[in-house]
Amino acid sequence: MKNNLPLAIVGLDPGTTTAYVLLGLKKEIVHSFSGKELGLNKVISQIIDHSRPLIVGTDKAKTPSFVEEFSRKTGAVIISPPEDLGREEKRLMLVEMGYTSFNGDEHEKDCLAAALYAYRKIATKLEKIDAFIKDNNLEAKRREFTKIALKENLSFQPIKEILTKGDRGDKNEESFKIVKEAILENKFTKKDHLVLFKKIRDLQSDNYRLNSKLKELEKQFKPLEKNNVLLAKKSNNFNQKVDSLFLFKEQRLKQRTLEVEQKTQEIVKLKDEILRLNQQIGQNNAYILIKKLEDLGTAEFEKSDKNFGIKAGDILWINNPEIHSLFVLEELKGKNIRLISEKKFPAVLKNKFQTANLVKVEMVDESKLYLWADSTKLEEKFKQESDIVDKVVQDYKKQREKEY
């Protein structure tokens, strides 16, 4: 069955001849192939017939767009070297790691070297994953645990909670089930769910601490009432001190109660946001998620990256595209980011990114941080903008040819 296909590291080498090698997590070669003029969809189809890709490795320091698209469509994490792997370096890697008998062509050997480089990068983490699974009796969840641990930036304990609490069917733990499904089913809003999940866990921890403080104060409050009766018989001056202490404790108790109520309201709002995102996930074939930014200045970029994480392949709505910093443009460079705005884009943004102009009324839905658009219409709009740019370039070339 396809659900039992091995988790794999993909070594991918695109070009006129495209090749790939599938390397299991125990360094076994699952499958390899090379062929001319292989399209991305065909490569993905072949790979998922033999494995479930978790990591995609390349021998290039600058990740090829073909590899970026593969990562975006499959959810595989990209691992690339700081500098291009040289021919001799790749040959020695195959020798040192015991693959001298591999009989693939040169393209497939390049892929194997890329996969082995990626394996070296995650080898220590794989050992820690194995130890945690054994120590926590999670053998039945090994496949799911390994998949989440390698693909998501989460520590092991929250992953354990997601996998175990998400299966209980308890309504109070519904958020664990939502996050588990979002990650394992590779839906496009999984990162957003993780952000919300972390916030809820923080609020739940705060709520627990505040309740504990309240109980401690209540315990302190009761003996103070009894002591006050006895102290009333003593000097008025001493009674005034006791009354002041009593009032201070009562004020602290009221303040803690107010903080608990505020945290509870925040939890309710975040749960509502999760429910709304989950409804949009149910229609992810029709809609596409767009992340909202006020502008491309450094302060706005850092705030937005902290709120929901900006990653390769994202589509961003920019309210004021004329505001941008060189630092942000450099950060987004090479990540296949696409931009949308109601306002006209400056030439520097058009030269660096694929852009499109839309009005908000053309969007399907909107929240504080996100917009949702009809995926078909949005892609058509990007294509129209791209066709216009291509036509301008072609017209310019023809004009230059006439002049010479």
pLDDT tens digits, one per residue of 200-231: 777 777 778 888 888 888 888 778 777 765 66
**What's the rounded Cα separation, in Å, for the pair 196 and 175?**
9
pLDDT tens digits, one per residue of 2-50: 668 999 999 999 999 999 999 999 999 999 999 998 999 999 999 999 9
**What's the rounded Cα separation, in Å, for the pair 44 and 53?**
9
Half-sphere exposure for 93 (CA within 13 Å, toward CB): 19
Beta bridge partners of 32: 21
Cβ-based burial of 154 (10 A; exposed 0-12, middle 13-18, buried ≥19): middle
List of E strands, 65-206: 77-79
DSSP 3-state percent helix, strand, coil across the chain (nearest 5): 60, 15, 25
Q: What is the mean pLDDT of each run of 10 residues along the chain (404 residues)?
A: 84 97 97 94 97 97 98 96 96 95 96 98 97 96 95 92 72 55 56 64 78 83 71 63 76 88 82 63 69 94 88 93 94 93 93 89 80 86 76 68 69
